[in-house]
Amino acid sequence: MSLALKLLTGILIFSFPFQVFGWDWQTRVTVVVKDQPLEAVCGLLEKEYGIHFSYSRELVNLSRKVTLTAHQQRLKKLLDELFSPDDIRFTRVGDQIILSPAQRSSRTISGYIKDAVSGESLIGATVYSPALKQGTTANQYGFYSLTTVKDTNSLLISYIGYKPYLQKVTAKGNQMINVHLQPLGSLKEVVISAKEGSKLQEQTQMSRVNLSTSDLQAMPRLLGEVDVMRALQSLPGVSGGPDGAGGLYVRGGGPDQNLVLIDGTPVFNFSHFFGVYSMLNANVVKTTDLYKGAFPARFGGRISSVVDIAMKEGDMKAFHGDASLGFIAAKFNIEGPIVKDKTSFMFSARRSYPDLLINAALQAEKTLGDDGDFKAFFFDVNAKVNHIFSPKDRLFLSFYKGEDNLLLKQTTDDTSRIINSSKYIGESLRFRLGWGNTIGAIRWNHIYSPKLFSNVTLNYSQYEFFTEIEHKYKLAASGEKSDVYGRYNSVMENNGGRIDFDYRPDPRHSVRFGAITTVHKFKPGYSTFEDRDSHVIPLDTIDASMKVTGYELSLYAEDDWQIRPDFFANIGMHASAFLVEGRFYYSLQPRLGLRYLLPRNWAVKAAFTHMTQYIHLLSGDGATLPTDIWVPSTQHVAPMFSRQLAAGIAKTTANLKYEFSLEGYFKSMHNVIETRETNGIITPATTRWDENVTVGKGWSYGAELMMQKKKGSTTGWVGYTLAWSTRRFPDVNNGEIYPYKFDHRHDIELVLVQQLGKQWELSASWHFNSGTPFTLPVSTYAATEGASPWEPGTGNTSIDRFDNRNNYRGSAVHRLDVGVTWSKQKKHWTRSWNLSVFNAYNRKNPYFYFISGDAAGQKRYLSKVSILPILPSITYSVKF
Amino acid sequence: MKYFFVGAIGLSMLLSACEKREEIKLPYEGDKIVVNTLIQPDSVIYIRVTRSVPSNVYNDAGYNDIPGATVTLTANEASVLPLQVQTIKGLSYYVSSQKAILGQQYKVAVSAAGLQAVTGTDTLPPAPLVSKPGAQRGSSRVQFTLQDLPASADYYRIRIYMTDAATGLGAFLLFRLDPAFNNNMVEYFSKGNYNSLIMNDERFNGKPVNFVLQTADPIMNAGEITVEVSALTNNTYRYFSTLAAQRDAGTTLGSHVRVFTNVTNGYGIVGGINTRKMIVKIP
């Protein structure tokens, strides 16, 4: 070619638009399409940038529709995003891009993720392939399974509180890799920081909040006790009873509508000390998940919430323990290997002790007589053993026993010490009261294949309340004797079995399915009574106590499904049936969760759930009490069910430092029960309980905002709830809708934890909720007692007229709790002091109201009673 | 039993519980006519007519009468019985000139300027079949026999009145069913003593029952004991039982028991009652 021809060719080339020949992988392109097939995107790139695509329609399918907004994005990256979901390979040949099927076979990498120091499973740890941008999370047993292309050569395993670990994957074929993560060196290095590892936008699950041990331990304490239930009450969407006592009220639901699971076993009464403390020693809790809605299909049986608590499994490598002494209770916990890396155990015990001091004082002064005794305490013990039979088989045995007990024994021969000394001779009184849970479970984890994990559980859960009295005396004047003995008890038992499968066929599907069977045994209200020294003929014999057995069977399946790169769904179905006294109930409970990824890593989520509950709690109108009994559905009272719709947005920042979620919800509750208004004078026979309740509906709706800082020396959260909760019963409030007793319009929670150096940790939590509704009389009028005013006992007595239920709101509740912990780490152990101040500014929050009369002022007025003033406490703990 | 636990919570935690007066405006639904009459066969009928007041009004002197109220008493929807206003123990009553007759239905209608007119109707129950009363000094047991009628649902009120031997003054005693007689563990725990026992006959329908009551204090200084057993109509039973429930609940706001009324557009009770009194002299 002559020089002139070369120059001419060059001029011609450069006179063409630059895009025609000038592209390479780094070329920045701009493409904006909405709901167009891949083919159209290729056409656009060809038209705008001269990038030609060559492919066979038989081998490569470009029909998938995409929505894309890419501004000045590198070509390679854009094509990666476009083609990788369909496993389409692209290569440049000249100025063409050749598209071909990837032809890469897959393999599955599975195993357990554990704490390298203790061997504890890490629930929710993230396993991620950076090259393929695919990942998964470990299940509640720490098991993960990731099916991916064969040329994956590394996996990044991460978990908050642990050093991320890059696991090399060299060999081909399926592999089982157990990963041990090193905890980050800090004060909490012996604490398992079991926070969620994955970002909110990467979870289709919504309406769930996770509380880790470190969250729990950092919260300010009430009389020295760290408490799970109180921590849950500081989350948006959750209320407690008056001053936090008496249960959980989640999204306007009742305390009977919460499914509390301890290592998968349901419990009936989750509290000690009339609802002030949880039944569990928080030191043995590994992680707590609260589901307020969007219930996965694997849960069923209650309509308003699921509290899923995982206990520590026991250190597989070394012995550890802790002991602490607070104002209310003393406790210890020990764990360690029985056979290193094969079998471990965990044992903990706790007992409240103020009664020991009170009894000593009473004995010293002989206040209760020579044989007098006084006990008022709660205790709980937890024991757990877990054994690894093989890499594929693991067994857990767990046991819990917790009780509250009250004993008062008063005897005297010295009549000057007894109240009715002028009348009684040789009086003795013995009164006992107690309630508690007994729980046992055997669980067997088995890995059938790298993609299929199973857990089989056999469990037993019992709740018993009893009270017993013995009263002896002799009347001095007549010699009349009384020797009364009575006992009342109420038992609720569950014998259950369940099998759960976790199947991960490929990264786009995470399938769980299983079956749950429960035998419910109800024995409420069994009583015996006799007066051994009386010849009085009883009015009637005691009714045989109700003993009913109910059988519940549930089947469920759910799939966490990546439908498109930016669209995910959790689709599930929970089907259950309940057979009791010849009656058969069943329900199909669809569960649906959706997640759509927005720009800037926001996710918009929505969920619909249907939940059914076959058992009811008979409770008074006030606080939840140990005497409350569970009964099955009857012909008059059908099973409860709820439908909940939730929608919201969520995001975790890239550095996992901040989390933000905003959710709205609407929940309807059907066949909820309430005591009839005219009740109250006659103790209802247990067998006819359904005649004394009215069946109605409830609605709750609202919005919850949660902003959380999860990393750094300052952590904590801000939660705000705007909520409405109402009820309607035909026999209450004239059949009109009225506010539920825990209808708090506004609820604000602020929790702040500040780490100061290596030794100091400050914490504060501030709670606010607007007033609780209650019922005030709308007028007062004269009563009458007899037919003739000339008769005695027909004086001026009054009746208060109650009309609309919950027609008044009490004053707002707010309280600041603060705590400071000082820890000193020695070579083999750590000691710490915690000073907590409950209700730091001594706010007089209402516990209940009553109407008083002021004779001098000739006025009746409303009195507010407050119970928990400023309460400082000190706890000393050692850990080794 | 609920109240026992509420109390236990209060006792155990809350030695430092504090009470504070809240200055609020109590809701009020406006004045209404209140009619109270319990009609006893073979006795004249006493009707008290008052008006309701806001619940912050402290009223220890009886409720205000309604001046100019028109009160009509009708028997069997036909004959109007004449009424006369009498002041008894400082309170005004409309008193019939004729005695009530068992088997008749009585209706009371009241109207007054500025207030909604009200009516209330009830029948009268047959007398309770009671006998064999017994009580003795130094004992806390009081007994009697009640023969219940099998064909009907029957309702009763029992009270014990003691007259002091020395002073002649009397008072209703606090009592309960003897625990061995009642044989009810839950009630033994959950209920204290009361000065009137309201009950239906579910536990002893059609049977003769030897009732054994236990007084809160042994009978020491009594000159005589009066065991008062009243048969009640269903209306009166519902009124007394809900009234007792409201008193049992106390003034704590949470129980809000609504007391039964059969006075339409107003409050109170127009109810039948048939009382028998058995007097036991205490030697």
Domain check: are A707 and A818 in the same one? yes
Domain check: are A553 and A663 in the same one? yes
Chains A, B: CB contacts within 8 A come to 315
Question: Tens of pLDDT along A344-371?
Answer: 999 999 999 888 888 888 888 777 877 7
Nearest chain B CA: its distance from A557 CA (Å): 42
Q: Which of A101, A130, A150 is the last residue of a domain?
A: A101
Residue A877: name the closest of A403, A191, A340, A258 by CA. Answer: A191
Residue A149, pLDDT score: 66
pLDDT for residue B149 is more than 80: yes
Residue A587: name the closest of A301, A256, A386 by CA. Answer: A301
Which of A53-67, A219-233, A644-658, A678-692 is the most confident on average? A644-658
Residue A454, pLDDT score: 93
Two tokens at A699?
């609605």
Which of A177-181, A348-352, B139-143 is the most confident on average? A348-352
Who has greater pLDDT, A522 or A160? Answer: A522
CB atoms within 10 A of CB B134: 16
Of the listed ranges A347-351, B21-25, B49-53, B162-166, the least confidently predicted one is: B21-25
Residue A584, pLDDT score: 93
Q: Which of A148, A171, A198 is the last residue of a domain?
A: A198
The answer to whether A539 contacts B243, with C-beta atoms less than 8 Å apart, is no
Chain A interface, best mutation among B1, B4, B6, B9, by max A CB count within 10 A = B9
The mean of the pLDDT values for chain A is: 84
Considering only CB atoms, A780 lies closest to which of B23, B55, B60, namely B55
Domain count, chain A: 3
Domain check: are A69 and A113 in the same one? no
The answer to whether A868 contacts B136, with C-beta atoms less than 8 Å apart, is no
Mark residue A609 as left, alpha or beta (left: phi above 0; alpha: psi -120 to 50; beta: remaining).
beta
Question: Tens of pLDDT along A110-148?
Answer: 888 888 877 888 887 888 877 767 778 888 888 888 877
Q: How far apart are CA B196 and CA B187, in angstroms?
A: 15
Alpha helix ranges (H) inside A28-174: 38-49, 75-83
Q: How far apart are CA A744 and CA A629, in angstroms?
A: 27
The answer to whether B17 contacts A866, with C-beta atoms less than 8 Å apart, is yes
Q: Please, which residues have CB within 8 angstroms of residue A511's CB and are 6 or more apart in sequence? A: A501, A502, A503, A504, A505, A557, A558, A559, A560
Which of A272-276, A839-843, B253-257, B274-278 is the most confident on average? B274-278
CATH code, domain carrying A563:
2.40.170.20
Q: Are B271 and B242 in contact (CB under 8 A)?
A: no
Quick one: closest CA in A to B200, which residue?
A682
Domain check: are A567 and A715 in the same one? yes
Nearest chain A CA: its distance from B114 CA (Å): 17
The answer to whether A680 contacts B257, with C-beta atoms less than 8 Å apart, is yes
Q: Provide the terminal-to-terminal Cα distance of chain B, rounded to the nearest Å.
A: 39
- Kind and range of the H or E run holding B236: helix B234-249
CATH code for B33-122? 2.60.40
CATH code, domain carrying A130:
2.60.40.1120
DSSP secondary structure, A264-327, as one string: TEEES--EEGGGTEESS-GGGEEEEEEESSS--TT--S-SSEEEEEEE----SSS-EEEEEE-S
Q: What is the separation of C-alpha B162 from the centre of its chain, rounded to a whole number of angstroms?
A: 18
ipTM over 0.95: no
Q: Where are the beta strands (DSSP E) in A581-713?
A: 583-598, 602-613, 615-618, 629-632, 640-652, 658-675, 693-709
CA atoms within 13 A on the CB side of A699: 6
What is the pLDDT averaged over residues A667-689?
66
Domain check: are A339 and A357 in the same one? yes
Residue A35, pLDDT score: 87
Quick one: closest CA in B to A778, which residue?
B28
Q: What single-letter DSSP state applies at residue B264?
A: B
Who has greater pLDDT, A343 or A163? Answer: A343
Residue A630, pLDDT score: 83
CB atoms within 10 A of CB B182: 22
Domain boundaries, chain B: 33-122, 129-281
Q: Please, which residues have CB within 8 angstroms of residue A6's CB and are 6 or more apart in sequence? A: none
Who has greater pLDDT, B275 or A275? Answer: B275
Domain check: are A549 and A510 in the same one? yes
Domain check: are A73 and A162 in the same one? no
Of the listed ranges A242-251, A511-520, B263-272, the least confidently predicted one is: A242-251
Residue type for position A865: V
Two tokens at A155?
């996996």
Residue A720 to residues A446, A706, B75, Cα–Cα distance (Å): 42, 7, 64
CB atoms within 10 A of CB A762: 16
Q: How far apart are CA A280 and CA A275, in angstroms?
A: 12
Quick one: closest CA in B to A328, which residue?
B13
Q: How far apart are CA A829 and CA A820, in angstroms?
A: 20
Report pTM. Answer: 0.81
The answer to whether B22 contacts A245, with C-beta atoms less than 8 Å apart, is no
pLDDT for residue A416 is more than 50: no
Who has greater pLDDT, A517 or B11? Answer: A517
Considering chain A, what percentage of its residues have pLDDT values greater than 90? 32
Quick one: closest CA in A to B266, which residue?
A781
Indicate the pLDDT class of residue A55, thresholds 50, 70 and 90. Answer: confident
Q: What single-letter DSSP state applies at residue A826?
A: -
Residue A347, pLDDT score: 95
Chain A interface, best mutation among B2, B40, B58, by max A CB count within 10 A = B58
Domain check: are A592 and A453 in the same one? yes
Residue A52 bridge partners (DSSP): A96
CATH code, domain carrying A79:
3.55.50.30
Q: Which of A198, A224, A252 is the last residue of a domain?
A: A198
Question: Tens of pLDDT along B84-117?
Answer: 999 988 889 999 999 999 999 999 999 999 999 9
- Burial readout A154-181 (b: 16 or more C-beta within 10 A, e: otherwise): ebebbbbbbeebeeebeeeeeeebebbb
Q: Are A467 and A476 in contact (CB under 8 A)?
A: no
* Domain B129-281 in the same topology as domain B33-122: yes
DSSP secondary structure, A182-244, as one string: PBPSSTTTTS------S-GGG----SEEEEEHHHHHHS--BTTB--HHHHHTTSTTEEESGGG
Quick one: closest CA in A to B136, which residue?
A478
Chain B interface, best mutation among A740, A781, A845, A870, by max B CB count within 10 A = A781
Two tokens at A806?
């919950």
Indicate the pLDDT class of residue A197, thresholds 50, 70 and 90. Answer: low
Quick one: closest CA in A to B24, which residue?
A862
The answer to whether A467 contacts B189, with C-beta atoms less than 8 Å apart, is yes
Domain check: are A330 and A446 in the same one? yes
The correct CATH number of B129-281 out of 1.20.58, 3.40.462, 2.60.40, 2.60.120 is 2.60.40
Indicate the pLDDT class of residue A187, thresholds 50, 70 and 90. Answer: very low
How open is the CA angle B33-B39-B43, to the nearest 5 degrees? 130
Q: Are B184 and B114 in contact (CB under 8 A)?
A: no
Asked if residue A84 is part of any domain, the answer here is: yes
pLDDT for residue B14 is more than 50: no
- Kind and range of the H or E run holding A11: helix A3-15
Q: How far apart are CA A148 and CA A134, in angstroms?
A: 8
pLDDT for residue A186 is more than 80: no
Domain check: are A509 and A540 in the same one? yes
Domain check: are A541 and A595 in the same one? yes
Residue A189, pLDDT score: 37
Domain check: are A67 and A125 in the same one? no
Chain B residues in contact with A778 (beta carbon < 8 A): 27-29, 55
A70: helix, strand or coil: strand
The answer to whether B136 contacts A478, with C-beta atoms less than 8 Å apart, is yes
Structural domain containing residue A54 = 17-101
pLDDT for residue A683 is more than 50: no
